[in-house]
Amino acid sequence: MDDLDRAQELEMESRNAAIANQIKKQGKTTLSHCQDCGDAIPLRRQKMGGVNRCVECQTYFEQAQRKFK
């Protein structure tokens, strides 16, 4: 009985994680122009989804984030 409960719990957890992931993906906005500098974001990059900065600004942004951690 305990094993069954645990299995159900695990299933719930993975399902919730999958749903949370989906929401995260949908919540990500993709812009045609960089939100920081206004440069056009290459279509190839837009297709990745959730892209809102050009390569340069994204690199800069990620480096800045790393510094804060």
| Residues of this chain that bind Zn ion (CB under 5 A) | 34, 36-37, 39, 54, 57
Q: Which is nearer to Zn ion, 11 or 39 (CB)?
A: 39
DSSP string, 6-48: HHHHHHHHHHHHHHHHHHHHHH----SB-TTT-PBPPHHHHTT
Q: Which is nearer to Zn ion, 31 or 36 (CB)?
A: 36
- By the 8 A CB rule, do 31 and 51 touch? yes
Q: How far is the CB of 60 from Zn ion (least distance, A)?
A: 8
Q: How far is the CB of 53 from Zn ion (least distance, A)?
A: 5
